């Protein structure tokens, strides 16, 4: 797992057939497992952050209360 994470981050999520082959040999996983892992990681990294930390929140007074 550490190998895949390091590889993913060093490539900024971009991979090709040669990289998949190397990852398959190093991890023993199949081509589809490597592809799926990279695909899922890319989706996770591209998702916008849903949770906003309390100190980042900005509260605005509603229009009708101004």
Count how many domains the chain has: 1
Residue 53 and residue 42: Cα distance in Å, rounded? 23
40 falls within a domain: yes
Quick check: 26 and 3 in contact, CB under 8 A? yes
CA-derived radius of gyration, the chain: 20
pTM, full prediction: 0.60
Q: Which residue has the tokens 């799926």?
A: 36
Domain of residue 35: give its range.
Answer: 2-47
CATH number at residue 30: 1.10.10.60
Question: What digits encode the pLDDT tens for the residues 15-44?
Answer: 788 888 999 999 999 999 998 988 888 888
55 falls within a domain: no
Mean pLDDT of 4-13: 85
């Amino acid at each position: 797992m550490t190998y895949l994470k390091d590889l993913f981050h060093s490539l900024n999520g971009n991979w090709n057939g040669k990289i998949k082959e190397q990852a398959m040999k190093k991890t023993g996983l199949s081509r589809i497992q490597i592809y799926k892992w990279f695909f899922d990681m890319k989706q996770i990294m591209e998702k916008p952050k849903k949770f906003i930390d309390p100190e980042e929140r900005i509260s605005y007074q509603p229009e009708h209360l101004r």
